[in-house]
Amino acid sequence: RASRQELIERSDLHGEAFCSALAAAADEWLARLLHDATAGDVSGVALVAVGGYGRSSLCPHSDLDVVLVHDRRRDVGSLADAVWYPVWDEGVRLDHSVRRPDEVLAVARDDLRAQLGLLDARLVAGDPSVSEPLVAAALEQWRKHARRWLPELDAQVLERHRVHGDVAFLLEPDVKEAHGGLRDVHAVVAATRALPALAEHVEVSAFEQPEAVLTAARVELHRVTGRATDRLFLQEQDQVA
């Protein structure tokens, strides 16, 4: 499968198609690393993608956000090193942790960002009997504590809007953090998952086309600048367009 740099240089691959292709390439790479580290014995260990990587929405310079989840495997430290170090050697940014399922859920109970990331969790490689109960428990936990989390989510959204302004009216908007940006799409979807009754009042499918446009702009912005940036400055706008 093509490397990250080869995908970045492909002139025919844009937007969500690029993100999916890059996520698939990352999946294959990490799965191979875990397979080699375990000599094929992945019982009791699972590599789980969360956040944007969990959604298979990787822009050219996005982090790989992963959790190595294990069921008390004694060799988990060496397994983690065997997966993390090749990623670092390639210069790819990695947001990583190593935890048991109960530890993952305990962190998420006290950290909204971690809890939101788990809503998009999916198995990349390893033992499904470790990852599948965790993904289900994370959603149940989100719904159980909705009364506590949704006001905090609302406060975070309003603060982002205050700091970053409106993506539709700024000359140099932040396509991820600003009002109407990608974070808002994810916040609305998260809210409907916390309270399924909200889905009757929110047409989530209406966000698909705006999200695709914002994602396409973000992909090209990463390409043009060669780094993980989400603010569309004037000097990059012609190339991004």
Q: What is the pLDDT of residues 134-175, one digit of tens each?
A: 999 999 999 999 999 999 999 999 999 999 999 999 999 999
* All residues at 6 or more sequence positions from 149 whose CB lies less than 8 Å from its CB, including other chains: 112, 115, 142, 194
* All residues at 6 or more sequence positions from 2 whose CB lies less than 8 Å from its CB, including other chains: 10, 21, 25
Torsion of CA 157, 162, 163, 165, to 10 degrees: 100
Residue 169: per-residue pLDDT? 95
Cβ atoms < 10 Å from Cβ of 239: 11
Checking if the pLDDT of 2 tops 70, the result is no
Residue 154: per-residue pLDDT? 97
Proportion of the chain above pLDDT 70, given as a percent: 99
Structure token pair of residue 109: 């109970």
Give the pLDDT confidence of 77-88 residue by residue, as tens digits: 999 999 999 999
Give the pLDDT confidence of 20-56 residue by residue, as tens digits: 999 999 999 999 999 999 999 999 999 999 999 999 9
